[in-house]
Structure 1
Amino acid sequence: MKTALKLLCVVALASLWGGCGIDWFPAVTQSPNTPNGFTFTSKIGVPVQGNISSNAIVVSGFANNSTAASLSVSSGSAFSVNGVRATGLTGTVKNNDTVKVIQTAASQLGTTQVTNINIGTRPGTFTTVTQTINTPIFTQTTVQPSPSFTQITTGPLTALDPGHTIKMSGPGTFFSVTDASNNNVIAFTSSAATFNVSNLASHHLLLQIPTGATGTTSLTVDATTYVIENTSPFGVTTLPQ
């Protein structure tokens, strides 16, 4: 009996408050031209003047799934919708479309490039920062340290100094930085260690790879990882952070 009376009181109060014009559950109004927020993750350590693709975002939040809102990017960049070939021309998107930004990175080391993108009335950005050394090119040296190792080295590096952190991942592999003026080895470091060096400009990177090793060695300089083939021609793939 008491429970029934309590329920009646709650119903009565709710009716009274409703009559006072209080909207307890206001409707969520979606905009015809403004989607939900979106984020393109910044990429750090990308190749100089590389064509860099952003992560894909899914468009949502338009009032109607058939709404086609405008999509544009700043000059020099492009976008791709649902995997279709990228374009820099203004286009349209709807709810559930996927969007990627394609940007040409800056032409100098350690430089930030920002692409502005507008989906409907909502703005966003995609940002890249270029690597701190030019992508190294390795060749095998004529003098080997021992039959147990293959030694490869770069030419003089172009680098944004000062201050670099180098780390390598490769079983049994060693790396060093050598002085370009006299080829003296500054330091050899095992693959388990991190090496801090002030200057890399005009110096060399030198690797000693176990003879017969296959697969790859990863050499990380600051925010960029260079994946090096352990066999000739020692190709390099650049991976940003």
Structure 2
Amino acid sequence: MYSWGDLRLDSEAFEVSYKGITLRLYPKEYELLKLFFDYPNHVLSPSIIIERLWSDDSVPTESAVRTHIKGLRRKLKEVGADDVIQTVHSLGYRLKPLPKKTTQSECSLNPMLMQLLALHFSEYAIVDRNLIVLEVSPGVKNFSDYPWDVAIGRNVTLAFPELIGLESTFLEVLENKKKSFDIKGIARVNNSRRPDYINIYVIAMSIKESSLQNLLILFEDSSEKMILKQQVVQKENEFYLLLGESSIN
């Protein structure tokens, strides 16, 4: 269940309501609103919205994206939910920040780190020394091939099996024997709503009023870098292949 003030989005029932009034949204309007809930601290450009919500065979124009946003805003306004989605001029759109007194429970991360995560379009999970999830950002599910296993109280390896067998390495990070740990270029199952490749970074974070530490796991979308790297390698292979053919001739 997602919430923004009195606005509710039930991702299991695929329902949106405001003060108990159900909104009748088109599928893309629902997906668009959910995308803003998944990334509440991000400014989403039209190109990012297209990448997340549309497959390659039906890519709309940025003008069409704006039309969807206008339609969503109109339906929200009809039930009294004004100014839910803000326009950040020349950049894109975002979920309007709520007044501090009405926001949900505060995140354990300091504001500077949160800004860094937003800048790099990253998500995070906080786990204890037994790898049990204590806290996650909403968008983490988009980085997992098993999004239904991303949940507080569950072992993080259920959602990210790439972390299985690394317990001793994580212990070294917790005991400050190793500063950090990372796994780069992890391929994801083909899905238009998920990155093609991700990077995972693991660092220790202090627990308030305790000498113990938890693990902060950061997830970064590395699709663009990996695809570019693959293209460079392919061009190099083609070059050497042509070079070999010319030497034979």
Q: TM-score, normalised by structure 1?
A: 0.24
Which has more helix, going by share of residues? 2
Higher relative contact order (CA 8 A, sep 6+): 1
Which structure would you say has the larger Rg? Answer: 1
